[in-house]
Amino acid sequence: MKSMLRSGMVILSVLAIIGFIVPSGALAVKEIKIGVIYPLTGGAAAAGRELRAGVELAAKIANSGMADLPMTMAQNKGIKNLGGAKIKLIFKDHEGNPTLGADLAKKLILDDKVDGILGCYFSSVTKTVSAVCEQYGIPMINGSSTSPALTKRGFKWFWRTTPHDKWFTKDLFELLVGLTKGKVQGVKAVPKKDIINLASACEKTEWGSHVSGLIKEFAKEYDFKLKKSLLYAAKSADLSSEVRSLKASRADVMLFASYTSDAILMVKTLKAQKAHPKIIWGQDAGFEKPEFRSTLGDSISGILTRTVFLPKVMDLKKLAGQVNKLYKEKTGNDLGGASARAFTGLQTWVAVLEKAGSTKPAKIQAAANALYIPGKELVVPWQGIKFSTSGDELGQNVLGSGLIGQYQKGKDGKIGLEIVYPFDVSSADMIFPFAGF
């Protein structure tokens, strides 16, 4: 009997020692389930493929380790503070439908028992999915939805890594002001009267409506004249009347917020109707997708798009080039704004889990609120990731920033994006005015 007691005490002592060595929860956790909700079919399927590929690459690096990549995530095989637990991704297709997105979130939480959620690209879907996460107290990280309203709801279980449209739209107006002051590389100062008249056409969704409102707000603040402001039905079969209205406004600058199919149709219609503004600018989304480039070819030369990542970033950041090589081997394409932000979103999940050392929601919440990832560990050209924990933008990364790129034909004869803003990292002279189609 005494022998049995001594054996039991030894076992308990060993377990106690292990408890001190191994983080709480590590013994029980073999994998961490992350639900990933993206548009994998429908009009934004092209973006969905990019998003998925970016997340999958980040998970592969986190799970298997790649010592040559100068980022903490790549140095461990799995979540080190959870005993090497692996990330398991469970993908769901919201099809661009906010109601479906909310239903999928409930299934992921209640049936799949996910530890957290990543998504959802469409701001309208992110809005409903994050509300479900808030209801159930499940952490959600958003890497690519840019409606400013998402971080103004006081949610305690929602964090956004990407800058939002207010920042991006302000960048556009700073570029226009820079044109008038001779700050744009390769362009002499342009009289403001030559670019003062603006017109916008944005899709009538959560995201597009907010962009439209921001354009109105900044046009007034920067003293530009918004001659026409349109909202059109997303996934339109015809945009002829909208383009006729834009042309009739005689705008010098035309601004758009469109997903892939609408962006392609809009430019085709502008070309068919021989529209000839001095500047065409797209709010990322469809204007940055590989399909936009491959479908429209040389006709997009001179078009601007905001983004958070361009291949030219690789000249500034070695890490971006290393990750881009892996991504290109996987997909055949360079990283873009969607895929780079999706990669960063999953990287943030990994960092949060490492800091939490637990899959308990409260531990994850505390870790996210205290998180800091230095910019040198990111593929995107940001100062880092640090979430706001006070004020009117809870959960918003305060260290992000944007770029504006312009489609130009390179020496190899291929169309690609050059950085034209910020001015201090410009990679080429800006084409101004837009040469037409």
User: What is the per-residue pLDDT across 56-98, written as a single tens digit (0 to 9) for each?
Assistant: 999 999 999 999 999 999 999 999 999 999 999 999 999 999 9
Tell me: do 293 and 410 sit in the same domain. yes
Select the more confidently predicted residue: 259 or 368.
368
Is 335:54 a contact under the CB 8 Å cutoff? yes
Burial of 111 (0-12, 13-18, 19+ CB in 10 A): exposed
Tokens 């026409």 correspond to: 228
CA distances from 159 to 36, 145, 201, 369 (A): 15, 11, 29, 9
Whether residue 246 is found in the same domain as residue 325: no
Indicate the pLDDT class of residue 248, thresholds 50, 70 and 90. Answer: very high
In a domain, 178, yes or no: yes
Predicted local distance difference test score (pLDDT) of residue 316:
81
Domain shared by 173 and 265, yes or no: yes
pLDDT band of 14, cuts 50, 70, 90:
very low
Residue 369 lies in a domain: yes
* Cα distance between residue 361 and residue 157, in whole Å: 9
What is the greatest pairwise CA distance in the chain?
Answer: 97
Q: Is the pLDDT score of 298 beyond 80? A: yes
One domain, residues 107 and 238 = no
Query: Residue 186 in contact with residue 198, Cβ under 8 Å?
Result: no
- Which tens digits make up the pLDDT trace of 410-426? 888 889 999 999 998 89
Residues contacting residue 212 through CB under 8 Å, at least 6 positions apart? 200, 202, 229, 231, 257
Cα–Cα dist 202/142, whole Å:
22
Q: φ and ψ at 423, to 5 degrees? A: -65, -30
- H or E segment to which residue 60 belongs: helix 45-64
Alpha-carbon distances, residue 312 vs 258, 306, 315 (angstroms): 24, 14, 6
Q: Does residue 390 form part of some domain?
A: no
User: What is the domain extent for residue 233?
Assistant: 166-307+402-425
Mean pLDDT, rounded, for 102-117? 98
348 shares a domain with 286: no
Rounded to whole angstroms, the Cα distance separating 290 from 49 reads 11
User: Are 202 and 321 part of one and the same domain?
Assistant: no
User: How many structural domains is the chain composed of?
Assistant: 2
pLDDT for 425: 87
CA distances (Å), origin 229, targets 124, 218, 266, 293: 21, 13, 15, 26
Predicted pLDDT at 2: 40
State the Cα–Cα distance between residues 11 and 142, nearest whole angstrom: 44
Mean pLDDT of 103-116: 98
Strands 197-203 and 158-160: unpaired
Q: Are residues 159 and 50 in the same domain?
A: yes
CATH number at residue 85: 3.40.50.2300
pLDDT at position 379: 95
In a domain, 291, yes or no: yes
What pLDDT, on the 0 to 100 scale, is given for residue 437? 77
pTM beyond cutoff 0.75: yes
pLDDT at position 6 is 46
Residue 35 has pLDDT above 90, yes or no: yes
Q: What integer is the mean pLDDT of 261-283? A: 95
Q: How many residues does the chain have?
A: 437
Return the closest-CA partner of residue 363 out of 3, 33, 60, 82.
Answer: 82
Considering the domain boundaries, does residue 396 fall inside one?
no
Is a pLDDT exceeding 90 seen at residue 7?
no
Residues 158 and 172 in one domain: no
- Contact by Cβ (8 Å): 70, 377: yes
* pLDDT greater than 80 at residue 3: no
Between 307 and 327, where is the model more confident? 327
Confidence of residue 206 (pLDDT cuts 50, 70, 90): confident
- Encoded amino acid at 330, one letter: K
- Distance CA(285)–CA(305), nearest Å, equals 9
pLDDT classification of 28: cutoffs 50, 70, 90:
low
Q: Name the amino acid, one letter, at 60.
A: K
